[in-house]
Amino acid sequence: MGDAAELELSVWVLSVIGAITALYYLLKWSWLCWRGFKVYVVSEFWPVDLRSYGQWAVVTGATSGIGRAYAIELAKRGLDIVLISRCEDKLHAVATEIESSYGRQTRVIQTDFTEGHSIYPAIKDKLADLEIGILVNNVGMNYAGMLVHFLDVPDPERRITQVINCNILSVTQMTRLVLPRMVERSKGLIINISSEAASQPQPMLTVYSATKIFVTYFSRCLNSEYRSHGVEVQCVTPFVVSTNMTHNIAVNLLVKSAPSFARDALNTVGYSCYTSGCLTHALQHIALSILFPDWLRLSSFCVEQTERFARTKQNWIKESVAQTAKKEE
């Protein structure tokens, strides 16, 4: 009789624990689904009026890819644009397109973000008289055109320094330049472009992945520090977007075009401070987090398979790089 009672009690306790666990996960996934619906669906119909942040938007790396797409999308939404990049001819081409197509004012600043700290006093002077409402820290670079081991980076002494200057120093220094006046006005938006490569460690993209996780942590910490001052800091972590960095891979269900991504990502402003930018990339992030966890990604087996994949793509990458260079000429 006593054993039966104990068994019944044990079954009841386990049932309660199971019910509580099921309820916890049901509520958790319901909340995540609602947040995803709000960020990626509701935002399509009720986007924030970006003009409320201020008159000017500054975009780094603004002559191609995601940066160019952000600049054009921001102009469409009524902001004047400061374009910063290293190629003066391309800067003026994008500026002319924005002025003629959308009737917005533009300014261009020619600079090379790989050169280090010496470039920022000149940028500060050129931004001094502007009411900057939005800063898009987009400029970034990989250290090789393909997946490689750390020691196989071409010209490593120069290249690694360039990547750190471009991917890390630019974000912190540009933020330092514009943030004080945003705090004074109690209004501003800083958008930092990180990467899905920062969501988990990425062997054979080691330096790129490491610099992008800096961008992610910097953005999220900064948002916590300054949102009470009226300044929002959004971290955007795109998956694959068809740009020069991705060798202009064909757009499909999983790969976004730069203009489409920029439009979707800007819609998430005000809805999320940490976003994949679009629904398809968010779903890919969830799938990879579940199916491709850290322990597998960092395993010797996975690295060997990545090496094998990289070898099979070498010729295609070389052809894509050559085509991109020819197109830019």
Q: Which residues are catalytic?
A: 208
What is the number of alpha carbons within 13 Å of residue 235 lying toward its C-beta?
A: 21
Reported as half-sphere exposure (CB side, CA atoms, 13 A), residue 243 has a value of 25
Residue 296's CB: how many other CB atoms inside 10 A? 11
Distance CA 139, CA 114 (A): 10
Burial class (CB within 10 angstroms; exposed 0-12, middle 13-18, buried 19+) of 219? buried
Tally of CA atoms within 13 A in the half-sphere of 287 that contains its CB: 8
Give the angle subtended at the CA of 41 by the CAs of 39 and 46, to the nearest 5°.
Answer: 80
**Pairing of the two strands 241-242 and 231-236:** unpaired
